[in-house]
């Protein structure tokens, strides 16, 4: 069973979002990294880019597949995690900690209400 953290929000595309004031930290879930297996490359969105919720903003490449990274909320990318760009395997080891991918200054806090709760995300992945 995938590790699902309380206090985070989730997308149907298997990203997690944690808010720090008006900034959303985003990464991929434990379920997503386990499905992808060995992650070999991460291409986050560029700092300064404006992203829209639901939009493909980057890519994650694993040995067996390439997947898009989707924005959980709209806003401006304010930081990327250069550690995971240099060493993508960090996401496999610690997807909710050191393995975060990027941070966005949230344009509309109401978008957070459209994301899945931990319970809703558990129901989603139970169907897979």
Is 2 a member of any domain? Answer: no
* pTM of this structure: 0.95
d(CA 64, CA 62): 5
Position 2 scores a pLDDT of 84
Section 35-56 average pLDDT: 97
Is 119 a member of any domain? Answer: no
**Please, which pLDDT band fits residue 27 given cuts at 50, 70 and 90?**
very high
Return the SS3 of 54. coil
pLDDT tens column, 75-87? 999 999 999 999 9
Is 57 a member of any domain? Answer: yes
| Boundaries of domain holding 50 | 9-113
Take residue 30 and report the two structure tokens written for it.
């434990």
**DSSP, res 117:** P
Number of domains in the chain: 1
| β partners of residue 68 | 59
Take residue 20 and report the two structure tokens written for it.
């720090």
Query: Is pLDDT of 64 > 90?
Result: no
SS3 per residue for 7-53:
CCEECCCCEEEEEECCEEEEEECHHHHHHHCCEEEEECCCCCCEECC
Is 95 a member of any domain? Answer: yes
Contact assessment for residue 97 and residue 49, using Cβ atoms and an 8 Å cutoff: no
Question: Is pLDDT larger for residue 34 or for residue 127?
Answer: 34
Is 70 a member of any domain? Answer: yes
CATH of the domain at 38: 2.40.50.100
Is 4 a member of any domain? Answer: no
Is 3 a member of any domain? Answer: no
Is 128 a member of any domain? Answer: no
């Amino acid at each position: 069973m995938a590790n699902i953290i309380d206090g985070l929000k989730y997308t149907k595309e298997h990203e997690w979002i944690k808010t720090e004031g008006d900034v959303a930290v985003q990464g991929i879930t434990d379920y997503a990294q386990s499905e992808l297996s060995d992650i070999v490359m991460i291409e986050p969105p560029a700092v300064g880019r404006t992203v829209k919720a639901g939009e493909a903003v980057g890519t994650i490449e694993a040995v067996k597949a390439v997947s898009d990274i989707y924005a959980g909320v709209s806003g401006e990318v304010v930081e990327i995690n250069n550690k995971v760009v240099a060493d993508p395997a960090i996401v496999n080891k610690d997807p909710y900690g050191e393995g975060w991918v990027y941070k966005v200054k949230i344009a509309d806090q109401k978008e957070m209400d459209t994301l899945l709760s931990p319970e809703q995300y558990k129901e989603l992945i139970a169907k897979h």
